[in-house]
Structure 1
Amino acid sequence: MAAQRLNSMDVKKINRNAIYRYLYYNPSTSIQEIASAVNLSLPTVTQNLKELQERELIIETGLFESTGGRKAKAMACNSTAKYSIGLDVTRNHVGMVAIDLSGRIVRNVRHQYPFANTGTYFQGVGRLVEEFVAECGIEPGTILGVGIALPAILEAGRQTVSYATVIDFKGGNVRQFAEYIPYECVLSNDANAAGFAELWGEQDLNNVVYLSLNNSVGGSIIVDNQIYAGQNHRSGEFGHMTIVPGGLTCYCGQKGCVDAYCSARILSDSTKGSISEFFRLLRAAHEPQMKLWEEYLAYLAVAINNLRMLYDCDVILGGYAGAYMEEYIDSLQELVALKNTFEADGSYLRVCKYKLEATAVGAALELVAGFIDSI
């Protein structure tokens, strides 16, 4: 079958998108640099820049020093041209962020709002979104949409939930949220969303495993900057790998799952549900927390080594517990190195860059990615 020929409109869009993407990752760039980088003529670049400026998607940021002739204009993307809202829906809370096109968090809040598969709940979420937008002072017309991350497995089209144990939403649909939210709504798996956020803007990191240490353990596998979904859209369910055969009972009903040994809840349960209090007491060398931490790291090292052996790429720790790992990463790297057959150190292991609301940010970034693709 012959390849479909591109018409002039297709070519124009491809050129415009290439120019915008270059500016997105290389701010304050001259027209000459853009033309050279994307291999287009100066007139073509100039015309596309004019169109992007008219749409207020790019701005002039100043002038470069003269090299003998007219000073070249410095161009950059207008990060405040559009905004995106992200929700992190959990069993007991709704976290919310607003981000601009660069991924910068404009505002974030977290409401205690227990999940319930009822019209009243979804109506309440819609009200929280509208109140949040008003508090941000964002013009509604500039909002790309609302990304909604859930602790659930989604069907292929990501419209419907196929499996949900943490929240009672099996068979649920994005329309239940969209009925009360006046913007485009997109569902995401919570760990996939957080993993997506971690790779955003990382030009030299293409393959990674993200291990989410929230109150339930999850994760995502990212290959060539794309989330690997798996045959049944269940990839990255690291919380249900068995690390202790016949061990503790997981919430899924099986025994010995990673979740039963490495969820953030294991730590926070020792301090009445407060993960920050756990780490405060750990820093103060309280014996119960020190002993629990030693056991926690031992099991976590097993899980991390298994992921390294399976995927042979960097592993990023995130989630509630992962956000506190920075000061303990050296000792954890030593533990995983001891279990590694091939490597003498654990430098492949790193801590998340988003310490706050990574899941909500990732859900919002999916709409930003779609917007960039559409330019």
Structure 2
Amino acid sequence: MLYEKTTNIEVRKYNRNTIYRFIYNSKKTSKQEIAKNLGVSLPTIAQHLKTLSEEGLISEDGEFKSTGGRKAKAIVCVKDSRISAGLDITQNHISIVLVDLGGNILKNIRIEKHFENSDEYYKNVAGILCEFIENSEFRNSKILGVGISIPGIISSDKKEIIDSHVLHIKNTRCEELIKHIPYECIFCNDANAAGKAELWNEDSEKNIIYLSLSNSVGGSIYYNEKMYLGDNERAGEFGHMVIMPNGKQCYCGQKGCVDAYCSAKVLSDSTKGKLSEFFTLLNNSNKEQVEIWKDYINKLAIVINNLRMAFDCNIILGGYVGAYLDEHIDEVKNSISKYNTFEIDIKYLRVCHYKLESSAVGAALLHIEDFIKQI
């Protein structure tokens, strides 16, 4: 129910935001439909629609069929009225995306670039980012900012990279990385960003675990639709759970970590770093890849079952490996069922929607989320 009092600025803002969100979540709607669902008068709705239209956030898109009276105008969100950029920094490449208000990828690029903790590297990345935006057909859209994802732990105030084993940096001020970028920037952990991307348009899942299977293993935890970061911003570091005591060496210095058994490198190392080639050979029943895959999904099944036992919620498999799992998910589920004490049917597990640049998308969505909140 909306508030009818229009003299109060906060109430007006609440009403306006609620109307916008209703339109945002509808493919098409009308003033009458908004009034019916939100319980507010048509004049009040018309006033807010006028403002939203003047700001380019909504537009009319045809008419609905007549039900006996005047045809109602169809109202839609203009998703590309605002654009956000996402930058994912990894050890060996950078990915950049432009994303609209709906979380749709408008344009993306991936460039091989080895990370260096140097001003020259940051200046070069900023130049690539700005050139990518300026040369896009969306350069005249309003850019909300740049979200930056990295494989590391970010401080709660988003101003410091506390630790990144992958990039070999600690206690680094974020301002050092972005001083050459002429846009507002927000930092986030790469797995948390990917989890945000996966849940952006999900209405049914309030609690979720996102398991990122890339060249390092990470994840994110969503409880009651909010990200749980833990007391020290380290929640979701699933890659450093020990599943094989005194097992394989992990890059963190410990032995037997999940990362040593379930990272994408475990698969791609047999094909000179090319994960796509691994799955091509696996699908062709190549003996070496089949044996590697059997051991991989056995260890992965242990991890997934442990997460299910601990959190008792749905789990999404993402990252580089997740992008290839659609046709292999039944194998993974069959392996998990051997360990699960309570359930045989593994309905709680699914593969990621975003097959490409999910961390960059999730980082970009941070600006979009903030923007929608203040409409």
TM-score by length of 1: 0.97
- Matches of residues 336-355 of structure 1 in structure 2 within 5 Å? 336-355=336-355
Structure-2 change in CA distance of 1:326 and 1:141 (3 Å)? closer
Q: How many residues are matched?
A: 370
- Matches of residues 177-216 of structure 1 in structure 2 within 5 Å? 177-216=177-216
- Matches of residues 9-28 of structure 1 in structure 2 within 5 Å? 9-28=9-28
Residue pair 1:198, 1:354 contacting (<8 A) in 2 also: yes
Task: Name the CA distance, whole Å, in 2 between partners of 1:240 and 1:315.
Answer: 18
Q: Tell me the equivalent position of 1:170.
A: 170
Q: Tell me the equivalent position of 2:364.
A: 364
Q: Tell me the equivalent position of 2:275.
A: 275
- The answer to whether 1:253 aligns with 2:253 is yes
Task: Name the CA distance, whole Å, in 1 between partners of 2:271 and 2:135.
Answer: 33
Residue pair 1:221, 1:235 contacting (<8 A) in 2 also: yes
Deviation at 1:7, TM superposition (A): 7.3
Residue pair 2:81, 2:141 contacting (<8 A) in 1 also: no
Letter of the structure 2 residue corresponding to residue 243 of structure 1: I
Task: Name the CA distance, whole Å, in 2 between partners of 1:61 and 1:253.
Answer: 58
Deviation at 1:270, TM superposition (A): 0.5
Q: Tell me the equivalent position of 1:85.
A: 85
Residue pair 1:147, 1:364 contacting (<8 A) in 2 also: yes
Give the SS at the match of 1:170.
Answer: strand
Task: Name the CA distance, whole Å, in 2 between partners of 1:374 and 1:81.
Answer: 15
Residue pair 1:28, 1:74 contacting (<8 A) in 2 also: yes
Q: Which runs of 5+ in 2 are unaligned?
A: 1-5
Q: Which runs of 5+ in 1 are unaligned?
A: 1-5
Q: Tell me the equivalent position of 1:310.
A: 310
Residue pair 1:87, 1:96 contacting (<8 A) in 2 also: yes
Residue pair 1:211, 1:218 contacting (<8 A) in 2 also: yes
Deviation at 1:169, TM superposition (A): 2.6
Residue pair 1:174, 1:185 contacting (<8 A) in 2 also: no
Task: Name the CA distance, whole Å, in 2 between partners of 1:27 and 1:277.
Answer: 39
Task: Name the CA distance, whole Å, in 2 between partners of 1:236 and 1:339.
Answer: 22
Q: Tell me the equivalent position of 2:145.
A: 145
Residue pair 1:88, 1:190 contacting (<8 A) in 2 also: yes
Q: Tell me the equivalent position of 1:3.
A: none
Task: Name the CA distance, whole Å, in 2 between partners of 1:24 and 1:193.
Answer: 22
Letter of the structure 2 residue corresponding to residue 340 of structure 1: N
Q: Tell me the equivalent position of 1:132.
A: 132
Q: Tell me the equivalent position of 2:262.
A: 262
Task: Name the CA distance, whole Å, in 1 between partners of 2:168 and 2:126.
Answer: 19
Q: Tell me the equivalent position of 1:42.
A: 42
Task: Name the CA distance, whole Å, in 2 between partners of 1:19 and 1:94.
Answer: 38
Deviation at 1:224, TM superposition (A): 1.6
Moved over 4 A (4+): none
Give the SS at the match of 1:219.
Answer: strand
Residue pair 2:83, 2:141 contacting (<8 A) in 1 also: no
Cα-Cα RMSD: 1.2
Task: Name the CA distance, whole Å, in 2 between partners of 1:36 and 1:55.
Answer: 25
Give the SS at the match of 2:316.
Answer: strand
Residue pair 1:151, 1:166 contacting (<8 A) in 2 also: yes
Give the SS at the match of 1:96.
Answer: strand
Q: 112-121 or 30-39, which moves further after superposition?
A: 30-39
Residue pair 2:80, 2:141 contacting (<8 A) in 1 also: no
Task: Name the CA distance, whole Å, in 2 between partners of 1:138 and 1:68.
Answer: 41
Deviation at 1:204, TM superposition (A): 0.9
Deviation at 1:135, TM superposition (A): 2.6
Q: Structure 1 vs Structure 2: percent identity of aligned residues?
A: 50
Task: Name the CA distance, whole Å, in 1 between partners of 2:212 and 2:281.
Answer: 23
